[in-house]
Amino acid sequence: MAELNLLASMEMTKDELVTYYEKFKHKPLAIKKLNEIAKQQPELFVNMQDYTAEQALTNLIDFFKQQLAFFEGRLQINGDKILAVTMDMVVSAEVTALDARLGEYLDL
């Protein structure tokens, strides 16, 4: 963040701003700070939708990976009917959550 605070006080070119977007594209707070810098210098217009959509896709992929890791570690039932019903309810709830997150991404 110190680097971005320093950038805010300096003049930069559009190419430099794009370079910093690429460098910090997986860090939402840094992207937010870069957006503020870009607003202060309107001549540096960069299409922010590209970076916002990329960040949303990255977040969606991370969420899916997290949910899959949960399923992988928990879906060993071994014939226990109560555990099978419980896991079915958990999976149903998680699938609904996955659908909701995907829907949010597609609405961008």
pLDDT band at 90 (very low <50, low <70, confident <90, very high): confident
pLDDT band at 47 (very low <50, low <70, confident <90, very high): low
The verdict on pTM exceeding 0.85 is: no
pLDDT band at 37 (very low <50, low <70, confident <90, very high): confident
Indicate whether 30 pLDDT > 80: yes
CB 38 within 8 A of CB 48: yes
pLDDT band at 59 (very low <50, low <70, confident <90, very high): confident
DSSP 78: T
First to last CA, the chain: 27
Q: Give the Cα separation of 4 and 70 in Å (integer).
A: 36
Indicate whether 86 pLDDT > 80: no
CB 105 within 8 A of CB 57: yes
Indicate whether 58 pLDDT > 70: yes
pLDDT the model gives residue 16: 84
Indicate whether 72 pLDDT > 70: no
Helix (H, G, I), strand (E, B) or coil at 46: coil
Amino acid at 30: A
Q: Over range 36-45, report the average pLDDT.
A: 76
Q: Give the Cα separation of 79 and 85 in Å (integer).
A: 11
Q: Computed over its alpha carbons, how large is the radius of gyration of the chain?
A: 21
